[in-house]
Chains A and B, each alone.
Chain A
Amino acid sequence: MPFSSMIQEMKGEIGAISSRGLLRFRSDRPGGHAAAGRAPAAEPPGEALRESCWAQVPPELLRMVLARVEDEEARWPGRSAVVASAGVCRCWRAVVKELVRVPEASGKFTFPISLKQPGPRDAPIKCFIRRNRATQSYSLCVGVTDALADDGKFLLAARRSRRPAGTEYLISLDAKNTSKGTCIGKLRSNFLGTKFIVYDAHPPCVGAVVSKGPYAHMIGSAQVSPGVPAGNYPISHISYKATFGSRVPRKMSCVMDSIPVSAIKGGTAPMQTEFPSINSNSFASVPFFRKSGRLDSSGVQLATQNEAKIVLKNKSPRWHEPLQCWCLNFHGRVTVASVKNFQLVASGESDLNNQDDDDVILQFGKVGKDLFTMDYRYPISAFQAFAICLSSFDTKITRE
């Protein structure tokens, strides 16, 4: 008998079946979400079925669907679909968190915490910074195309303010609000703009040890657990030195307090996996300068206390006699000469004059009026890279 006529015969029966509400599909596997208590009594059968069935989709199917979304939306702004999926319900959130890989593995930003996680080991993540002189603010974006800079996807904002003892930049996830309440970290300089400290509002890694010292009374009571009040955890010390008497550009040095040297010798850099839950009253202002106005961070030591920390130094440019200028190979990512431009490599690995370009961990440079590119790699995070670049705007040291 032809298939089509068999369908005709069945139509009547099927119609009868549907009105008895037997269209519900049973999964042959247990699992999916708990459906207990979900049976709605008053709604018409069709509505009730539709509401509950998607909440019980088998985990392997949910994973298949969400894996497609994660894979197909590699770039922003489309990648917001991955973040949205993680906000639907607990089950979806768990699946998405399993699927999303950290920037070190994928080279992609997904959740805000990825800004605090180390970049990829091979090719750097390419970002750009826009400066707004009128509002003394800066925004860090990641490109959405392959151009040097485009509309970009917003990552972090920073607002600069002058304080008696130096400058301060508050770094925030909120483009419109860089107040203390939303900041995830800050950068502070000394009066001369020769030394800077980068502070993370959250402990950089589990087990951050706080020593006794002049600031213990401010931070000593912080426990590393969810709900810990945000504080100021110094994660990097930056210093600039002019080399007077020569024409060589200034020297930069960044001690990365939270990253041990082992991170680049076969080990791994510490990584935050989530923001601690934030209390609106927990961003207490910590006046580091109230005693002397000089920067002193000896009070707080991190878990890497007994291990050597990574020190990043700027690569020495070469003097180009015909062009009569100092040159670094920025691979087309920096197009305007500026004293702010730099490339940082891990010092101690080899001679600073003879480093391969592969060793560049952070590159920063001007491409237009108020527009700069920032490329960074493992073991530093976007947040750390951004803070280091901000210091380059502030320092008063220029070459002679």
Chain B
Amino acid sequence: MAAAADSSGDGGTSSGEKTIVLVSSDNSARFEVREAAALLSQTVRRMIDEAGADASGDGITLPDVDAKTLAKVLEYCNKHAPASSSSSAAEAAPPAEGEEDLERFDREFVRVDMGTLYSLVTAASYLKIEGLLNLTCQTIADMIKGKTPEQIRKTLGITSEFTPEEEDEVRRENAWAF
């Protein structure tokens, strides 16, 4: 779980790269991250645009992301952030790390319990981080494949609440499908 090394002084890296402070929902944690990493989130990007250039000094509070999840999300962003910090290039620029290295990171990144995975996918959706959303959705989709309805329910802790007629229909469909 190594965070990307970042040699920065207050308010910026030694190379003068801009940083942004993100605050978790309960105000318990503040994270200073490279702008390029933070801007992977379209939501953060929009908040900065709306708040104006000076507001980021106080930190941007993310009301729907708790500290633990935010830490994990920023681990992803730091790894996937483009090398260049210029905001106009952030979308188009490739990440600083090599592709194989990133794939290995992603595979390890999603080896988490179901509760954490849930927090990650909903955070990725709220923060509008495309890469993380794709990664987490794909992980869940892969988890569903090859399982019967009962196994899916057990893995995700869902109850079915079907009527007896619906149960019958489901049973017939699955008898035919499997």
Contact = CB atoms under 8 A, between A and B. Distances in A.
Contact of B174 (A51, A79, A83): A83
A150 B167 CA distance: 32
B40 to A, nearest CB: 15
A7 B64 contact: no
Nearest to B11: A1
Contacts of B170: 86-87, 93
B165 A277 contact: yes
Interface in A209-233: none
B145 A88 contact: no
B178 A50 contact: no
B176 A88 contact: no
A69 B139 CA distance: 11
Interface string B164-177: 01101110111111
Interface stretch (B52-60, B87-95, B101-109, B146-154): B146-154
Given A17-B67, A55-B158, A64-B133, 15 more contacts: A3-B8, A4-B5, A6-B30, A10-B71, A13-B28, A25-B118, A54-B118, A54-B157, A55-B157, A65-B140, A84-B149, A84-B152, A92-B158, A111-B173, A278-B168
Given A1-B10, A17-B28, A84-B147, A25 B122 contact: yes
B26 A17 contact: yes
Interface in A70-116: 72-73, 78-81, 83-90, 92-93, 111-112
A3 B33 contact: yes
Contacts of B6: 2-4
B114 interface: yes
The 4 closest A-B pairs by CB, nearest first: A87-B149, A51-B157, A83-B177, A54-B156
Contacts of A277: 165, 168-169
A89 B160 contact: yes
B66 A23 contact: yes
A22 B159 contact: no
Interface string B62-97: 011111110100100010000000000000000000
B98 interface: no
A277 B163 CA distance: 12
B163 to A, nearest CB: 9
Interface residues of A, number: 59
Interface string A10-24: 100110011000111
Given A17-B26, A275-B169, A68 B3 contact: no
B51 interface: no
A89 B3 contact: no
A88 B32 contact: no
A23 B116 CA distance: 9
A73 B147 CA distance: 13
A278 B169 CA distance: 9
Interface of B: 2-8, 10, 25-26, 28-33, 63-69, 71, 74, 78, 113-115, 118-119, 121-123, 125-126, 133, 137-138, 140-141, 144-149, 152-153, 156-162, 165-166, 168-170, 172-178
Interface in A282-333: none
Contact of B138 (A14, A58, A68): A68
A192 interface: no
B122 A69 contact: no
A140 B169 CA distance: 22
Contact of B162 (A18, A22, A89): A89
A26 B64 contact: yes
27 contacts: A3-B3, A4-B3, A4-B5, A6-B31, A13-B28, A14-B68, A23-B69, A25-B122, A27-B64, A50-B114, A54-B158, A64-B137, A65-B140, A72-B145, A79-B177, A81-B147, A83-B174, A84-B149, A84-B152, A84-B174, A85-B144, A86-B170, A86-B173, A88-B152, A111-B173, A173-B172, A173-B176
A46 interface: yes
A60 B152 CA distance: 19
Nearest to B152: A88
A28 interface: yes
Contacts of B158: 54-55, 88-89, 92
Given A61-B122, A84-B144, A14 B67 contact: yes
A2 B138 CA distance: 32
A263 interface: no
Nearest to B121: A61
A3 B4 contact: yes
